[in-house]
Amino acid sequence: MAPYEALYRRPSRSSICWAYPEDSLLLRPELVRQTIKKIDMIRERILVVQSHQKSYGDLRRRPLEFHIRDYVLLNVSPMKGVQQFDMWGKLALRYIGSFKIIECIGAISYRLEIPTSMLSIHDVFYVSMLKKHLRDEEQQRVLDAPEIELNDDLTTIEVPVCILAKEDKKLRKKVIPLVKVQ
């Protein structure tokens, strides 16, 4: 569908100007003035539609801001051809890592602390390539684990401390004893 047809819901009368064929008796300056008026009207209507679309888009858009020492994920899908990360094709990663922001360069670029294995990649990224990583400090805590003795074949010997609970699970024809051991 031509833009003229979409705008006015009728076919264009002429490819040169928007005058009816019987209006060919009009003088040339008058025909030019009419064409300029119609073009101005089309431009105004297009601007109105663009402003409506912008207002709808702005409702869902939010500014991305990060601070120094925030953790972010890096979008790697645009860089698939440049460097591959783990997988190729439809199973490729979309975001990698959890990188710390070490410097804010301007309002829209950030320098990340990347590991030495990724030195071939520049460490400054545009804000649209970053996604905030919500770190759970509770999960980042390291628990004190008791020392575990490993055998030569990397197996361990576990010694039960006590029995916490007993239960009998009844199936159709069997009874299975379940025991919870600490």
pTM of the entire structure? 0.45
Higher pLDDT, residue 155 or 178: 178
At 101, the pLDDT band (50, 70, 90 cuts) reads very high
Higher pLDDT, residue 139 or 7: 7
Average pLDDT for 80-99? 65
* Model pLDDT for residues 1-51, shown as the tens digit of each residue: 667 777 777 776 655 555 555 555 556 777 778 888 998 999 999 999 999
pLDDT value at 55 more than 70: yes
> Mapped to the 3 state alphabet, what secondary structure does 49-79 carry?
HHHHHHHHHHHHCCCCCCCCCCEEEEECHHH
> Which range, 20-24, 141-145, 160-164, is most confident?
160-164
* Model pLDDT for residues 104-137, shown as the tens digit of each residue: 998 889 999 988 877 778 889 888 888 888 877 6
Please count the CA atoms within 13 angstroms of the CA of 13 that sit on its side-chain side: 10
Beta bridge partners of 109: 105, 126
Tokens coding 75: 């979008």
What's the chain's average pLDDT? 78
Distances (CA, A) of 122 to 16, 31, 126, 147, 154: 53, 59, 11, 41, 41
Which helix H or strand E contains 45, and what residues bound it?
A: helix 28-60
